[in-house]
Structure 1
Amino acid sequence: MSTVDLTKQARHPPPLLEDLELYSIKQVNALSSEQRRQIFYHLVPLDVLLRLGIDSETLQDEQGRPLVAYRPSDASGELFLRHRWDAEDPVLYLHLADTINNQIEVLLFTVNDPDSERFDVDQLPDGTPIHFGTQTRNVAEEIRAMEAGLAPGQVRRGLRLTRDLIPILEQFVTGLHHNAFYIQPLAYHNAILFERLGFAYVIGLGRMEWIHSAFAPGGLLYQRLNGSTRFRRPEMAHSVRERSWAIHDGILEEPFTGVKMYKRVGIHAGVITFPNAPW
């Protein structure tokens, strides 16, 4: 396997971006497939490749099959990293897009520990896919996942990569001549995690502050933690992950929406809506 300098990735945008005047995902997608590869594969944390035993130069397995793939569309793109060519779940999935205001947005990213147990919260017992945030749920698998320490939407335990990925995304958007990027957290725990990583709110700060106050003793959401389901036990008011499960269970009586956040390059916003919170 190639020897790599992990510090290089922490200092510079993708090298090709330093040589080109590009400002959008759409412009990057218009490049040749090899140029796109050089740019987007730089988003894969190098220490993850080392941990998984993936050659950092070829990004292929021993049979020459690709383990990293980029799927472009007009103004967005999806990056996949798998530990095996035929793996069911990617270790890393990242979906980036241009916004109508010419900003860069992370539409979705997921991280999975390939060696951990899988919980089929994303499908019904008959295999029918479930899209996160819809009314359809596999409650039995959700209970198993919750009791195993996972948060809503997780099919496997994570790899604790998010903290490593944020500076890499900062380098990427810097290479596209932006000083910030945007994200819409799909769940309460995502928003709290992004706060801890230095994000601020475009919209939704008041909503997050209200949720925190409503989970306090005597608050509306605290009163709804009445034990009516496994996701609504009174003690679930006290941790980020368990609050998120209660919200996923519908305790807000409306979807968790209306929250958008941004990360300014090199700046930690210091926003805290759930002080001293255990995860």
Structure 2
Amino acid sequence: KSFSRQLDQLSRLGSSSLTSIPEEVREHVKLLLNVTPTVRPDADQMTKIPFFDDVGAVTLQYFDTLFQRDNLQKSQFFKGLPKVLPKLPKRVIVQRILPCLTSEFVNPDMVPFVLPNVLLIAEECTKEEYIKLILPELGPVFKQQEPIQILLIFLQKMDLLLTKTPPDEIKNSVLPMVYRALEAPSIQIQELCLNIIPTFANLIDYPSMKNALIPRIKNACLQTSSLAVRVNSLVCLGKILEYLDKWFVLDDILPFLQQIPSKEPAVLMGILGS
């Protein structure tokens, strides 16, 4: 009797019973619930209904087949993902997409394509969500030095990282990445780092600024063979002087300026500016 009653209810199923289902697929769902097997659409027929042509649905379908794709296909997909993410519900992004993205961190070649999307999601997360869901996945990536684009991406998002990362993790993971950038053999990385430091210097704790950051900026200036790095070091110092106390400047920065080995016009201008 119970079975017959259930069949009867299915046969009289109205639209009011399916209000939680998107209107575009309600009729298809009613067909799926039909007691006659030949009336029910199969999986292939369901994937062809217009509702699943939605960019969000297509994106999720692609994620389901990600393991079948090569690196080139993945990279093209990840490049276009930032345009799609704003169109998807946050719950879907956090529960479905984020785990798929972070699982690609084991593939160094994919990190430069995946990381911008993860940081884009981080911007929309609360601090608590970021600490619980994203920061643990970023830990190993902070330490990666190749490909070089990884460091560039992080440097461009330092404001986000320093705002949402707990102080202990900033000291142990984020700032060491900045220090490595200042010591990197790549002039491009050093220049970018020196240009970006003033934009987040106000977020760095004073002991780290005084004992770790400033010595590395000074060393970059003195040891480099690049005029651009030397000038940018001086410009960087000039911009962060406001965060240093007067006595440190007098005892440490001014004597350092006298040690600079070159006297090119651009360097002299940088010294005067500092």
TM norm structure 1:
0.28
Q: RCO greater where, 1 or 2, for CA within 8 Å and sep 6 or more? A: 1
Q: Higher Cα Rg: structure 1 or 2?
A: 2
TM norm structure 2:
0.29
